[in-house]
Structure 1
Amino acid sequence: MARTLADALREFDDARLIELLRARQDLTSPIPHGIGPLAARAAQPGSVHKAIGSLVLPELQLAEVFAAYAGPVAPEQLAHAVNASTEQIAPHVYRLATLALVYTDENGRALIPVRALSEALPHPAGLAPRLSSDPTPDDAREIVESLPAELREIADSLAFAPARLTGSPDSSLARQLTKARLVTKVNGPGGSRLLIPRTVHLALRSGVVHRSFAHAPTPGPEASPERFGGARDAQMLEAALEASRIAATIATWHADPPSVLKRGGIPLREARRLAAAAHTSHETWTSIIHAAWVGGLIGNDGETWQVTREFEEFSDASPARRWADLCSAYLRSNYLGSLAGTRFGDVSLDGLHEGEARTGESPRAALSASVGRKGVKVRRRHMLRHLADYPEREASAASLAESLAWAFPTVQRAAIIEEAYAFTRETEAFGLLVDGVPSALAPAALEALAREEVEALEYLESVLAERLPEPVEHVLLDSDLTVTVPGLPGPRVAAVLEWTDVTSRGAGVVARVTGESIARGLSAGGSADALLDELAALSLTGVPDVLAYLVRDEARKRGQVTVGPATSFITGEEEHLDRLMTSSEASRLGLKRLAPTVVISSGDPGFVMGSARAAGLAPLAAGASGAAAHERTLGTVRGGPVGLELESDAREQALDVEPSEALTRIRAAEAGRLDEVSVPQRLLAAIADEREIQIGIVDGRGGTRVLHVKPLALEGGRLRARDAEAGEEFTVLIHRVLLP
């Protein structure tokens, strides 16, 4: 009997099998009952497709050679097909064999790909699909060698061109190429098209599938030296603090909340307005605001975007903790916030194209699914690892794109460019990159991804906190209404700055007090007397009279009407409201009594309902009109993305069972120490051993038809098999299959 993949896997030692199970985690769900079922599952099309997604570029090139030849390939032929030596390809061949995508024949002289490899790569290296009408390899060589001289130059130009040719199939040149059997005419839904048969194409290439063998990408150039010692660290800290400040500006949304687009997200015009109000660029603002969204600080009710309850805790945290929350959310998200406002394909390695918008496609909206993409966080982790490997090199979008293309060769080129471009913008916004050079925070971000989320937050906070200078709790006031903070603002100074318009940030902060800024502070619930008292306590230069006059003048204008928060109303008998007002829940609800039978609360209606129950009352839900409503219609704005569950990349799946434990159970089943073997496991064993078995198929009337078959594949709850007598393939649902 010919050697099978199961035979090859039985020769693996424990270490190599564990490597296989770790790299292809879908093979252990559920755990196979033996090496045979493991091999059969590894050869299934769906599993092979996932495994191809984990290959790096040189491994994919070799996989395409196997797919191109769709049969045994000798190592020398394999090396020739990629213009490399057998020594160069050896480690990559070993990796493909470890992933159970190829195995050696019984003589050990050739490598055999699993059947599904060709199915998963139907157009390897631009070649046409294999057709039954293709000439044999010998005939293809004869076709190429017997080409007339006038077609020789054309044939050479077609050698590494795509197999599908453009142009009219009825042109004079097309007829010449067809007559020479260099191309064939294929009919399809869109009409006839010209195709170079795969065997002819390989003959034109003299058996070469890829003209050059991929090598690991080279890093960017050496980073230029700092003009001043510590300049990059200072810029890093400034960017980290700026990220915290930008996120805090969402507190102003209550006054003029941005609207929600029908397709989800924030309108581009509003996003630009909010970025300008936050005194930052649109790209930086969208980078930070997406992290705030993913972190649950922002949500929407379908009409407007609002802050959530989590924002209050966030705003009370230290600057280092706020940065840690934002950075962690960014690192673990599948979003590319800085691409908001662009269309797919608009981004180049040098920036944004200024070309015309593609027909029918709208710009991607911030805070929407349009800026999300499967596998982004896995590729972001790879780029962080690239920064860690080359800490003294510049990380340009071009060098990062090259690294991504090598590590993720199956990802579309335009997507690779977009993600590399977005990474440079977003990491600059968080202080992980400074002028294209990795900062001291970059390795900390990579380390955080290896930790549990809570532990990662504490770690990131400590890394930034130990680098921040001691905060200052004093200011310098000038008669021109300028406020100068000579260092990192402490909590009390930061509160005072809320009453100002900041004009400059860096080693310190320069701000200016205006009538509008004071009005903004008063509108937020501040007190003019409290502000002047605090300024007197913090100022090293006293409080100029002109500033005191301005504050008091603005205060006198306020108070014509009073507006306060009231998210919920509660009505009921006076005695019941008395009980609620005196309960332990009252302080958390922010209750205010307007009348004996009417109370308002700043708490969310759903939260108030639960608190009323805790106080021993039986509340009834009411809508905005006062009529009874279903309780599920009440509730707080939910933070974070809703309705967008991006799948994880195959390289990032969580293990249900550790590979070592899974191997122990597979070995036990192989040795016969596990008695219970299911029908699927027995079918998988037959597939792995490539043997024929007898099965029963239950028909719709309860009868059973007995067949002698060769099982071919088992996937998606269906068995594909070949009838041993009729020679025909068929598919049947697994629950209809009986085994003796």
Structure 2
Amino acid sequence: MASLADLAGHLLTDESTALGLNEISLGDIQLLFAVATLAERLHGPLPAVPSAHHLFMGYGGRSPRLDAPAVDPADRSVTRDQLFRFLRLDDAGRSAAEAALSRLTERALVLPSSGIRVTVPILFHRQAGGGGYGRPAEQLLTEAFNAPEIHRIAQGLGLAKARTRDEAQRQIVDVLRDAKRVRAMAAEAPPAALDLLDKLVPGPPLLRTHCFVSRYGGGFYPGSGGKFTFREGGSGDPGTDWLAARGLVVPVDEDLVELPREAADALRDHDRAPSYLSVPPPVGGTVEIPDGAVESQAQAALAEAASRVELMLRQVAVQPPAVRKAGGIAVRDTRRLAKAVGMPEEQARLWLDLANNADLIAPCAEEPEAPARGRGRARRPESQPPARMLPTERYDEWLAAPPARRLLPFVATWAVVPEVFSHWPDENDTPVALTAPEDGEAVDLRHAVLEALATLPAGHGVATGKSARGRATALAALIATAAWFRPTALTQGAGETERVEATLAEAELLGVVAHGALTSLGHAVLGFLRAGAHRHFPAVPGAGPALRDRPALDDAVRRLSAALDALLPAPQTTARFQADLTAVVAGAAASELTDLLAACADRESEGRAVVWRITPAAVRRALDSGLDAADLLARLADVSEGGRPLPQPLEYLVKDTARTHGRMRVVRSACCIRSDDESLVSELAAARALSKLGLRRIAPTVLISTADPEATLAALRAAGYAPVLEAETGTTVIEKARQERAPKRMPSLSGARPRRGQGPGTAQSLAGALLAGR
């Protein structure tokens, strides 16, 4: 935008207004509708338009342009006193409404004025025309349905079978225009349907639901000819399905329905002031939590998460899992990783998905070999090699960081990724890791749940650990409060309960929620979302320089990092070595300590203390990497807890293993095995386990192999021997595992381009850019 006029024009468009509505509360939406409803009473109806369109287009498409007569919103403004009297607010309500108007002015949903008048964009006047009602049933039914759906609704109303679609629709409209019949239907409605009507009748008349699907596989612009049909099997919410079957809600877009004007008028109390819930309803069914229990459980969860995430990614680096052609990590590889790390398979999938979306692992396909050129008919191209999940170039720096810094990208990514990975609604579909995030409402749902938990009084949490019935009641109360914060993101149906439950389970694994309450880390995550971090996804938080042009987001990242630092103690740099050849690390180990122990020991158990078992095979592994016995013992002594000397059995084990290590040597001449021990050479030549090497004795101390040195080394070690690789000069070659890395795919948070345009990050920078004509 090059000028203030351009900016003002953009902010007044229907599309810009609709986008702003996706991130405000129910109370704010009701206040905006109240302004438009009062304006109609004071200034008369708007000029007629060809077709109204709904508000919440931010979920599936772009707002269509309507060829409506131009109306200046300022001509339909109301005074603050008129608005407050219309809502019948007391002093506390007026204060809440004043604060809301200030917030909405910052979002350009209330337009700047002289101070005593309130002006809202013209979209609200169109939608709230007629007192906040929806559109007439005749228009809604015509635009939404073909003949089969019309006849189905007529049948649901108990009407006689009509010969034509038009006749059936006239009968439906006649029923909805009969206020007595509508009130009689409402009197017989199930409680779930009555709860929905209580929300729809006062306005806005729109509801997110899943009871309809497009006949053409996608959304449509109203008036474009797109039609809907009932979802097979229903929406999962009996209340919504009951209303839909009787024409009391009609689809206007994918997953969005509207209450017809006639039904709302019949059910509305015309003497009652418009609804205005300035504060969220309290979360019911909470329980008291002992002092310190929330933070203690958060610490335990984070310590376990740090350990398991590190183990998981180390396993990925050592043995990269395969990526299926259909997408996702092969199930057998996910199960292998889960077993190696000692966690449930569903948790392994979550960590893999978060690591992928934090740009720590990525699918990478090997380069196919170029086909050989030759005469004659061209060869058919070989199939592409399968892709594997590899650590990215960020992994090594991540691994060297302390546990709190390692968890930062996982927690931040969980907050902003548009998917609830633990929710797998299709029971017939096998869950796989590495799914593409596609849930456009997941971030808003997560944000709303955290906002609802933030309203709980100190020392209280949602009782999610009770019986199934008690848990369902507690979750319903939590969802009712969360829906106030993001009314367009929660359906409050059966499927929504499962998504919220999965969200809470993920939050507990990450230390964001404990005992049904927000932890200190949870409050930091909520601040991260409030700062608009989700608009920058995909990006890597905490990487790169500070966000100088977005101070609020930069401060939120620092608070998130500080919360993790406070909950996770400094990593351990020492281990307690015991006479039973175990090493115990009490807490999360520093990367250098983990690398040393992994080189000469096998991880035996997990928990707050990690136990490593030092075995001859593990010591040989360290010796294979180039360490000698003296060097290994010296390094272990340096990390011994309290400077205590190493136990004697450990010293004996290392020295005895080193004494037999390297008695045979693999020569690089493709390939020879030599050893000064003639009896050992005879033993190797006769070993059935080594028959695939085709060993042949050519001298008392020399064997030749048909396999290359690497394969020969692997076969000897698999058979229980301890060879080393020797160069042509006779010196021992130090073997290093080949480290494969995938390229980075995502920018740091400071380099990310926010969705819906870059734009200056502060009001001052925006003003400077506009005044400079940029």
TM norm structure 1 = 0.54
- 1:129–1:484 CA distance, 2 compared to 1 (3 A): same
1:182-197 correspondence runs (5 A): 195=247
Q: CA deviation at 1:202?
A: 3.1
Q: Does 1:334 align with 2:334?
A: no
* 2:569 matched residue in structure 1: 468
Structure 2 contact 574–593 (Cα < 8 Å) conserved: yes
* 1:33 matched residue in structure 2: 5
SS in 1 for 2:460: coil
Q: CA deviation at 1:311?
A: 1.6
1:625-644 correspondence runs (5 A): 637-639=742-744
Structure 1 contact 384–442 (Cα < 8 Å) conserved: yes
Q: CA deviation at 1:440?
A: 3.9
Instruction: Find 2:309's aligned residue among 233, 247, 252.
Output: 247
Q: CA deviation at 1:91?
A: 1.7
Q: Which amino acid aligns with 1:44?
A: T
Q: Which amino acid aligns with 2:501?
A: Y
Q: CA deviation at 1:546?
A: 7.8
Point out the more displaced range, 248-257 or 203-212.
203-212
Q: CA deviation at 1:530?
A: 4.7
Provide the C-alpha distance between the structure 1 equivalents of 2:296 and 2:324, rounded to a whole number of angstroms.
39
Q: CA deviation at 1:298?
A: 1.0
Structure 2 contact 603–610 (Cα < 8 Å) conserved: no
Q: Does 1:91 align with 2:91?
A: no
* 1:366 matched residue in structure 2: 433
Instruction: Find 1:114's aligned residue among 119, 122, 131.
Output: 122
Q: CA deviation at 1:478?
A: 3.0
* 2:583 matched residue in structure 1: 483
- Give CA deviations for 1:272-317 in whole Å, capped at 9, x if unaligned: 3312211223444344434433333212214111112322222222
Provide the C-alpha distance between the structure 1 equivalents of 2:395 and 2:87, rounded to a whole number of angstroms.
57
- 1:60–1:491 CA distance, 2 compared to 1 (3 A): closer
Q: Does 1:59 align with 2:28?
A: yes
Q: CA deviation at 1:500?
A: 2.3
Q: Does 1:314 align with 2:392?
A: no
- 1:382–1:102 CA distance, 2 compared to 1 (3 A): closer
SS in 1 for 2:289: coil
Q: Which amino acid aligns with 2:392?
A: T
* 2:760 matched residue in structure 1: 656
Provide the C-alpha distance between the structure 2 equivalents of 1:252 and 1:117, rounded to a whole number of angstroms.
59
Q: CA deviation at 1:594?
A: 9.5
Identity %: 19
* 1:12 matched residue in structure 2: none
- 1:473–1:68 CA distance, 2 compared to 1 (3 A): same
Provide the C-alpha distance between the structure 2 equivalents of 1:489 and 1:104, rounded to a whole number of angstroms.
56
* 1:715 matched residue in structure 2: none
Q: Which amino acid aligns with 1:33?
A: A
Q: CA deviation at 1:602?
A: 9.1
- Give CA deviations for 1:92-141 in whole Å, capped at 9, x if unaligned: 88479846668999xx9999872476469999888755739999xxx999
Provide the C-alpha distance between the structure 2 equivalents of 1:561 and 1:70, rounded to a whole number of angstroms.
91
Q: CA deviation at 1:433?
A: 3.2
Q: CA deviation at 1:409?
A: 1.0
* 2:280 matched residue in structure 1: 216
* 1:305 matched residue in structure 2: 389
- 1:487–1:102 CA distance, 2 compared to 1 (3 A): closer
Structure 1 contact 496–531 (Cα < 8 Å) conserved: no
Q: Which amino acid aligns with 2:434?
A: L
- 1:492–1:518 CA distance, 2 compared to 1 (3 A): same
Provide the C-alpha distance between the structure 2 equivalents of 1:546 and 1:103, rounded to a whole number of angstroms.
76
SS in 1 for 2:305: helix
Q: CA deviation at 1:489?
A: 4.1
- 1:483–1:86 CA distance, 2 compared to 1 (3 A): same
- 1:130–1:57 CA distance, 2 compared to 1 (3 A): farther
Structure 2 contact 110–119 (Cα < 8 Å) conserved: yes
Instruction: Find 2:265's aligned residue among 180, 195, 203.
Output: 203
- Give CA deviations for 1:645-685 in whole Å, capped at 9, x if unaligned: 999678xx76437446767998x99xxxx9x9xxxxxxxxx
* 1:424 matched residue in structure 2: 504
Provide the C-alpha distance between the structure 2 equivalents of 1:530 and 1:123, rounded to a whole number of angstroms.
83
* C-alpha RMSD of the superposition: 6.0
Q: Which of structures 1 and 2 has the larger relative contact order (alpha carbons within 8 angstroms, sep 6+)?
A: 1
* 1:343 matched residue in structure 2: 424
* 1:408 matched residue in structure 2: 486
* 1:500 matched residue in structure 2: 602
- 1:243–1:117 CA distance, 2 compared to 1 (3 A): farther
Q: Which amino acid aligns with 1:421?
A: E
Structure 2 contact 633–654 (Cα < 8 Å) conserved: no
TM norm structure 2 = 0.52
1:140-151 correspondence runs (5 A): 144=178
Provide the C-alpha distance between the structure 2 equivalents of 1:447 and 1:112, rounded to a whole number of angstroms.
28
Q: CA deviation at 1:55?
A: 2.8
* 1:598 matched residue in structure 2: none
Point out the more displaced range, 414-423 or 267-276.
414-423
Instruction: Find 1:394's aligned residue among 461, 465, 483.
Output: 461
* 1:272 matched residue in structure 2: 335
* 1:259 matched residue in structure 2: 322
Q: Does 1:543 align with 2:647?
A: yes
Provide the C-alpha distance between the structure 2 equivalents of 1:562 and 1:439, rounded to a whole number of angstroms.
60
Structure 1 contact 129–198 (Cα < 8 Å) conserved: yes
Provide the C-alpha distance between the structure 1 equivalents of 2:356 and 2:408, rounded to a whole number of angstroms.
14
Provide the C-alpha distance between the structure 2 equivalents of 1:547 and 1:501, rounded to a whole number of angstroms.
19
Q: CA deviation at 1:259?
A: 0.9
Q: Which amino acid aligns with 2:396?
A: E
Instruction: Find 2:290's aligned residue among 201, 217, 225.
Output: 225
- Give CA deviations for 1:485-510 in whole Å, capped at 9, x if unaligned: 3566456643454222232422x333
Q: CA deviation at 1:225?
A: 0.7
Q: CA deviation at 1:258?
A: 0.8
Structure 1 contact 296–638 (Cα < 8 Å) conserved: no
Provide the C-alpha distance between the structure 1 equivalents of 2:266 and 2:87, rounded to a whole number of angstroms.
19
- 1:514–1:129 CA distance, 2 compared to 1 (3 A): farther
* 1:153 matched residue in structure 2: 184
Structure 1 contact 502–511 (Cα < 8 Å) conserved: yes
Structure 2 contact 137–261 (Cα < 8 Å) conserved: no
Provide the C-alpha distance between the structure 2 equivalents of 1:118 and 1:461, rounded to a whole number of angstroms.
45
Q: CA deviation at 1:464?
A: 4.7
Instruction: Find 2:513's aligned residue among 402, 427, 433.
Output: 433
Q: Which amino acid aligns with 1:153?
A: A
Provide the C-alpha distance between the structure 2 equivalents of 1:238 and 1:550, rounded to a whole number of angstroms.
35
Q: Which amino acid aligns with 1:52?
A: L
Structure 2 contact 34–274 (Cα < 8 Å) conserved: no
1:698-717 correspondence runs (5 A): none
Provide the C-alpha distance between the structure 1 equivalents of 2:399 and 2:112, rounded to a whole number of angstroms.
61
Q: Which amino acid aligns with 1:656?
A: P
Q: CA deviation at 1:406?
A: 1.5
Structure 1 contact 299–307 (Cα < 8 Å) conserved: yes
Q: Which amino acid aligns with 1:114?
A: I
- 1:337–1:195 CA distance, 2 compared to 1 (3 A): closer
Structure 2 contact 356–434 (Cα < 8 Å) conserved: yes
Provide the C-alpha distance between the structure 2 equivalents of 1:470 and 1:100, rounded to a whole number of angstroms.
47
Provide the C-alpha distance between the structure 2 equivalents of 1:385 and 1:417, rounded to a whole number of angstroms.
17
Structure 1 contact 473–493 (Cα < 8 Å) conserved: yes
Q: Which amino acid aligns with 1:225?
A: P
- Give CA deviations for 1:699-723 in whole Å, capped at 9, x if unaligned: xxxxxxxxxxxxxxxxxxxxxxxxx
- 1:258–1:95 CA distance, 2 compared to 1 (3 A): same
* 1:691 matched residue in structure 2: none
